[in-house]
Structure 1
Amino acid sequence: MERDGMTEEERPKVVEVDSTDGYEGDKGSRRIKKFDSFDIETSRFKSDHGYSSKENLAWVMILKLAIQSIGVVYGDLGTSPLYVMSGIFPDGIKHEDDILGAVSLIFYSIILIGLIKYVFIVLSANDNGDGGTFALYSLMCRYAKASLTPNQQAEDKEVLNYRLEVPSRRFRRASAMKSFLENSEAAKYLLLFVTILGTAMVIGDGILTPCISVLSAVGGIQGAASSLGENQIMWISVVILILLFQVQRFGTHKVGYSFAPILSIWFLGIGLIGIYNIAKHDSGVIKAVNPLCIVHYFMRNKKEAWISLGGVILCLTGSEALFADLGHFNILSIQLSSCLVVLPSIILAYFGQAAYLRKHSENVASTFYSSLPKSVYWPMFVIAVLAATIASQAMISATFAIVKQSVALGCFPNVKVVHTSRKHEGQIYIPEVNTLLMLTCVGVTLGFKTTLKLGNAYVLYKFLDGGYVPLFFAAVMMTIMLLWNYGYRKKYEFQLENKVSREALVTIMSNTIHRSPGVALFYTELVHGISPIFAQYVADVPALHSVLVFVSIKSLPISNVPLEERFFFRRVEPQVSGMYRCVVRYGYRDAKIEPQFFEKVLIDQLKDFIHNNAPYADERGEASDHGIAMINEEGVQREIGLVDEAIKIGGIMYLMGQSEVKASRGSGFAKRFVINCLYNWLKRCVRQPEDVFNVPHKRLLKVGITYEI
């Protein structure tokens, strides 16, 4: 059985040890070696736990996840045949063989980037089954002390998923990189900056893709109802987008099962239509598999060929969702659905469109709908609209996963995270982010109105015509994330520098402070030492509960922390009774425990800690004449009895700091503006800590404190 993050074999035991093992004194006075990582760092821990990714899932579950993934992951990627050809040839097709060059570019882009890079390489670079930019960042922070927040603890390495062994053949290279990251502040900042940049770019792309997908699909109605103008198409698209974001609250599980049949029909349909077009119009289009078609295409078109790459890249929109959405599913399920259903259907669709355009190049602006057989036009129109509506699901789910990881690692403001599945902890919904995405997508659709204009947002060559939009969104996201991370780190560093020393704590407790029955959970961000908020509390209220637990909620750079290893206890000071420190460790995918269950587990773990870390009969902790220090059972029962009596009489109260942050005296204008204005404004706009941790308001007491950073 494991307690406090250590197995019975790993827990320090009272044993007779020879002085040559690093203990001082003769045999009669050997001391038990003690450490306390709340105040010091040590690397003398072993990590014997086996490293495991996700649990091995049964094939039935893998197939279910593969089916769900079709409805969630591939929406953007799967609906790209609606608009790619018009994006590549916005001014029409000048040479018949340019079609072969374009489809060859599409084919090799999908194979090299979509299949080889993402499906078989990038998916393998996961963190315990979780994907995304921040998952990679957390993985690097676990292998090297690359985090800018000084809250690492040696005991964290004992957690089940926190294995740090490096394969021997890569050890030298990995060690060099680890040393570089740990010793270079510039490298740490650069790593964080690149991580935030990548995250912001993914979210920026996630805003554009739903708009262009829905506009393209709805635009197909003009082929049969030419009376509808751009404004009507635009407003229909807006209504569809709003409805899509409203169903997100039902969760990935229900959304995936609801959307999967529709997208499965879509992929089957475009694949069969692609085969039909190849057979009817030009089977010679298969020559585009030859990469020389790309060479000839660039030789003929030169500069225009390079510009057309902005349209080619549209065939890969949503590919990053394969990795970012990994936490909602698993690797094998995504690989199966990609290789057996999605990518073959998309490739057949593009080759079929190319075959059609070889005979009807004048219809390139409406390639998808023009290439449909008349008998299936309306059924495919309905399915296309539904598929395009679903298209944004991949990036919406990916955005939820990315934001949750960012929050856990101190790079995004506090938001409400709703876990929508009991079986798969990675399936989440974030109301605030969902609303912001909806408003932004609606605004982009109203601003651009047509697919052709919105396509300019993917071509940096047309920066002024729309290429600035994704960069603008990415800049806004980066600003928010960098601001929050800066304030978060500065607050933590202030607490670390002004923490209450052990000597000061003993002095405070030795004064005549009244101890009333009850258990107080004193929340603090500080992991090492006692937060200065405690000194402020004692100065304002010279009374303490009989049992006081300093609780630090800490996010580890891993995806999950097993429940039995989540609570890590230490005594604050042996001379002060009834005072403990507890670090509650979460992975960035773990759901916060409900208050009632949290209280029960914390108290049970506290009693377990008291029982297994009992004081010795000899208070000095020295061995007896027989070389063994006897555990003071009477003291154990008295200490546990104190906890039981405190809960019975006074119950459990929560103490939290109400912090005000301002720039220190002498700070420059830039720092004062960032901290006093921007950071504080952002802090007021987001959820407060008591809401994030689901603290009962009736049992909450706040202590005001000002941080001058």
Structure 2
Amino acid sequence: MNPTPDSPRKLAMLALGALGIVYGDIGTSPLYALRECFTGTHGIPPTHAHVLGVLSLIFWALFVIISVKYLLFVMRADNRGEGGILALMALVMHRPQGMKEPRPGRPLLWMLGLFGAALLYGDGLITPAVSVLGAVEGLTVAAPFFEPFILPIALIIIVALFLVQRHGTGGIGIVFGPVMCLWFVVIAVLGVKELVINPSVLWALSPLHGVRFLSENGLQGYLVLGAVFLVVTGGEALYADMGHFGRRPIRLAWFALVLPALMLNYLGQGALLLRDPEAARNPFFLLAPKWGLYPLVALATVAAVIASQALISGAFSLTRQAMLLGYCPRMEVVHTSAEEKGQIFLPGLNWALMVGVVVLVLGFRSANALAGAYGIAVTGTMGITTMLTYVVARERWGVRRALALPMAGVFFVVDLAFFGANAVKVAEGGWFPLVLAVSIFTLMTTWKRGREILGAKMRAASMDLKDLLESLQGAHPPLRVPGTAVFMTSHPEGTPSALLHNLKHNKVLHEQVVLLTILFEDVPHVPPEERVEVEKLEQGFIRVIARYGFMDSPNVPDILKRGREQGLQFQLMSTSFFLGRETLIPTKQPGMARWREHLFAWMSRNARTATAFFRIPPNRVVELGAQVEL
């Protein structure tokens, strides 16, 4: 549930926590963003007019995209307190009670939302690499002889970061907020130090300088927007982490500390460039006095690790949401905290992310090169978020088109402008997050479509439960044996294939037969008191339906224990769980392309077993296999 600050002290503590989790990515952007504007592939000479123009674009990008769009507009679109593009997509796809058919255009919105989620993985991989490299490269400002050691040091930090993930973020998370608070105070002080020397740089806050910069520099000035966008790449994190802290603490942290600190630092870097254009090679670290370089590098490295940690945790949460919404195969999920159910660790995904980040560091070798590939995927996600939020505003909030359309239109034009400026990065490495996003999108849609085809074939081969119960009253009923048998089924009205196979081959039936269906709703959480429904049928059959949200973790023994309150007789040691295991055979039948059928079969073989995913005691499980032609 969305935390509700009920006292100034609690609000302040939640705001402090938001500093450590929500603002790590956007908070470390000063390490490389302004430098990229002047020294990147499409950089522009740091003249007086150019510096003021770039700073003006940075300020208004932060104001329009973060302050207005995300904090005041998008964050209103919460799905029972939870944010993020998958939560937003679920909100858009949700059908009002009584509506059987989806509204027009929903398949397109579903595809857009899913592709937006896939895009986040692309830039999510780049963030740890560019942040850590950008921090460690500060050593070369202090002493050039560190140059050959930058890559090894960065790789050691990155590998160590992924190795500690299995221990959870609970312990180190306590210090995230205070450390990031120190970081923002330090970068603000560094900026003020230079601002005092050259306060005229404050004229950059006028939008006229940004407009003049774009008009006078034409295409080159427009392409600089690709580097300016680096200052807002953490915008999606604000929305995705809303459920952990709530709107008010996130907004308080932004307006009270983060935005002032960022702008003071960017303005300080700009003032330094006006005084010494040669400082464009690394304006952030050149703000610091010589005696403070090593401590600043250490602090920047810690801040970069915190930023990376937030994105890694976000990837874990996003993947679990995808699993429970049916877009991803079951994977191992380890809960690293007994108190906070949101703290999870996915071993398989963790190692895949580590390999990806290491390959990126070895391939691009510098923060500048990585920054050249950074941003294109996030701009796509931001544009999709704008479109989905417009739909929510019209359908859920009842906002008139005359008000919602112009507002969303302004945001979308800004998103489109940044997307166009970032599009030229494709040849410079921006292809990587796009290829990764297309690959993940293909996997997600293949899994979703494959499960739909498999479910339809299983239902077609199944027997109606009513017919089965009638047949058991015939002249030759099966032998009933003591105990309880639990059969899991995705179709509450049908007969599980494992039950039919058991009757066919073993010719016995337990005294109590539980037909268990687990449904995942388009909401983050289902209250425990609303989770389980028990319906007693004939012939000792009991139908149990359990509902979970996409942020919940299913647990079959817990479901059956809750069923006791509604009359279910359950003793674990006298219960057997019968599960079906299908061997999938690709065919030429209509459904999916053959290559997608082979891909789906491979994904199914490598998915985590239902026994482990649903936390069923393995020594109580009987698996019955079947071959299914796709």
User: Above 0.5 in TM-score?
Assistant: yes
Q: Structure 2 vs 1, CA of residues 428 and 303 (structure 1 numbering), >3 Å: closer, same or farther? A: same
Question: What residue number does 1:489 align with?
Answer: 452
Q: What corresponds to 2:59 in structure 1?
A: 107
Pick aligned residue for 1:603 from 554, 564, 572? 564
Distance 1:602 1:542 in 2: 28
Deviations 1:45-100 (A, max 9, x none): xxxxxxx8656655544433322221222111001001011211124525321000
Indicate the residue corresponding to 1:237 in structure 2.
154
Q: Are 1:84 and 2:38 counterparts? A: no
Letter of the 1:688 counterpart: T
Match for residue 342 of structure 1?
A: 258
Q: 1:217 aligns with which of 108, 115, 135?
A: 135
Map 1:544-563 → 2, pairs under 5 A: 544-563=509-528
- The aligned counterpart of 1:246 is 163
**How far off its partner does 1:118 sit?**
1.4
CA contact (8 A) 2:497 2:580 kept: no
Paired residue for 1:585?
547
2:50 pairs with 1:98: yes
Distance 1:379 1:54, change over 3 A: closer
- The equivalent of 2:175 in structure 1 is 258
The answer to whether structure 1 residue 302 and structure 2 residue 223 are counterparts is no
Aligned to 2:623, what secondary structure does the other structure show?
strand
Write the letter of the residue equivalent to 2:328.
F
Query: How many percent identity over aligned positions?
Result: 32
Deviation at 1:423, TM superposition (A): 4.7
For residues 390-417 of structure 1, the C-alpha deviation after alignment (integer angstroms, 9 at most, x for no partner) is: 2212222221221111111101111223
Supply the AA of the counterpart residue of 1:329: F
CA distance in 1, matches of 2:237, 2:180: 16
Is the 2:483–2:574 contact (alpha carbons within 8 Å) kept by the matching residues of 1? yes
Of 48, 51, 64, the match for 2:13: 64
**In the TM superposition, what whole-angstrom CA distance separates every residue of 1:444-468 from its partner, at most 9, and x where no partner exists?**
0111001121122134313222121
Q: CA deviation at 1:385?
A: 1.4
Q: Secondary structure at the match of 2:144?
A: coil
1:506: Cα distance to partner? Answer: 1.6
CA offset digits 1:5-62 (Å, max 9, x no partner): xxxxxxxxxxxxxxxxxxxxxxxxxxxxxxxxxxxxxxxxxxxxxxx86566555444
Distance in 1 (alpha carbons) for counterparts of 2:586 and 2:296: 60
C-alpha separation between the residues in 2 aligned to 1:222 and 1:277?
21
Q: Please identify which structure carries the higher helix content.
A: 2
Structure 1 SS opposite 2:593 = helix
Give the aligned partner of residue 621 of structure 1.
none
**Deviates most, 68-77 or 598-607:** 598-607
- Cα deviation for residue 667 of structure 1 reads 4.3
Which residue number in structure 1 is paired with residue 186 of structure 2?
269
Equivalent position of 2:470 in the other structure? 506
Q: Which residue number corresponds to residue 87 of structure 2? A: 135
Secondary structure of the residue that 1:517 maps to in structure 2? strand
Structure 2 partner of 1:313: 229
Asked if the contact 1:566–1:585 (Cα under 8 Å) also holds between the matched residues in 2, the reply is: yes
**Alignment counterpart, residue 242 of structure 2, candidates 318, 326, 336:** 326
The one-letter amino acid paired with 1:76 is D
Return closer, same or farther for 1:701/1:439 CA change in 2, 3 Å cut-off. same
CA 1:499 to 1:111, structure 2 compared with 1: closer, same or farther past 3 Å?
A: same
Match of 1:545, as an amino acid? H
Q: What secondary structure, in the 3-state scheme, does the structure 1 residue paired with 2:342 have?
A: coil
Q: Which moved more, 1:696-705 or 1:243-252?
A: 243-252
Q: Counterpart of 2:543 in structure 1: which amino acid?
A: R
Per the alignment, residue 48 of structure 1 pairs with: none
1:536 corresponds to: 501
- Partner Cα separation in structure 1 for residue 428 and residue 362 of structure 2: 15
Equivalent-residue separation in structure 1 for 2:61 and 2:341 (angstroms): 33
2:346 to 389, 410, 430: 430
What letter matches 2:426 in structure 1? F
- Give secondary structure in 2 for the equivalent of 1:358: helix
Matched, 1:122 2:122: no
Q: Is the 8 A contact 1:92 1:362 kept in 2?
A: no
Post-superposition offset of 1:695 = 1.2
- Counterpart check, 1:204 vs 2:169: no
Shift in alpha-carbon separation, 1:601–1:224, aligned structure 2, 3 A: same
- State the SS of the aligned residue for 2:492: coil
CA RMSD of aligned residues (A): 2.3
* Shift in Å, 1:427: 3.4
One-letter identity of the residue aligned with 2:20? G
Offset of residue 201 of structure 1: 1.0
Q: How many residues align?
A: 578
Match of residue 399 from structure 2: none
Tell me how far apart the structure 1 counterparts of residues 332 and 248 of structure 2 sit (CA, whole Å): 30
615, 620, 624: which one pairs with 1:699? 620
Q: Deviations over 1:232-259 (max 9, x none)?
A: 2112111111122233333343332122
Give the counterpart of 1:654 among 564, 571, 577.
577
Asked if the contact 1:325/1:401 (under 8 Å) is kept, the reply is no
Contact 1:327 1:426 in 2 (8 A): no
Alpha-carbon deviation of 1:216?
A: 0.8
Q: How does 1:278-289 map to 2 (within 5 A)?
A: 278-280=195-197, 282-289=198-205
Amino acid at match of 1:604: E
> Would the aligned equivalents of 1:413 and 1:484 in 2 still touch at CA under 8 Å?
yes
Deviation at 1:130, TM superposition (A): 0.7
Deviations 1:513-548 (A, max 9, x none): 011010111112223433344223311221011000
Aligned counterpart, 1:671: 593
1:526 lines up with 2:448 in the alignment: no
SS at 2:70 equivalent = helix
2:314 maps to 398
Task: Give the 3 Å change call, closer, same or farther, for CA 541–183 of structure 1 in structure 2.
Answer: farther
For the structure 1 residues 521 and 504, does the alpha-carbon distance in structure 2 shift closer, same or farther, using more than 3 Å as the test? closer
TM-score scaled by length of structure 2:
0.87
Q: Following the alignment from structure 1 to structure 2, what is the Cα–Cα distance between the partners of residues 318 and 250?
A: 25
Q: For residues 255 and 491 of structure 1, do their structure 2 counterparts lie closer, same or farther at Cα, with a shift above 3 Å needed? A: farther
Secondary structure in structure 2 of the residue aligned to 1:182: coil
Q: What code does the residue aligned with 2:492 have?
A: V
1:356 to 255, 272, 282: 272
Of 536, 547, 553, 1:571 maps to 536
Q: CA deviation at 1:377?
A: 2.1
SS at the partner of 1:129? coil
Match of 2:417 in 1: none
Compare CA radii of gyration and give the structure with the larger one.
Answer: 1
After superposition, give the CA deviation of every residue in 1:93-129 in whole Å (9 maximum; x if it has no partner): 2532100000110001111111111122222211111
Mark the CA change 1:666 to 1:418 in structure 2 (over 3 Å): closer, same or farther. closer
Aligned mate of 1:474, from 419, 424, 437? 437
> Where do 5+ consecutive residues of structure 2 fail to align?
375-421
Aligned residues of 2:191 and 2:287 also touching (Cα < 8 A): no
Q: Please give the alpha-carbon distance, in whole angstroms, between the structure 1 residues aligned to 2:4 and 2:467.
A: 47
Amino acid in the other structure paired with 1:182: P
CA–CA separation in structure 2 for the residues paired with 1:538 and 1:549:
15
Aligned counterparts of 2:169 and 2:64: Cα–Cα separation in 1: 29
The CA distance in 2 between the partners of 1:477 and 1:512, in whole Å, is: 50
Aligned AA (1:379): P
Q: In structure 1, what residue type is equivalent to 2:511?
A: S
Q: How far is 1:424 from its partner?
A: 4.2
TM-score w.r.t. structure 1 length?
0.77
2 CA distance for matches of 1:236 and 1:53?
Answer: 39
Deviates more, 1:245-254 or 1:442-451: 245-254
Note the C-alpha offset of 1:382: 1.4
Q: Aligned letter for 1:671?
A: A
Counterpart residue type for residue 454 of structure 2: K
Inter-partner Cα distance in structure 2 for 1:392 and 1:504 = 55
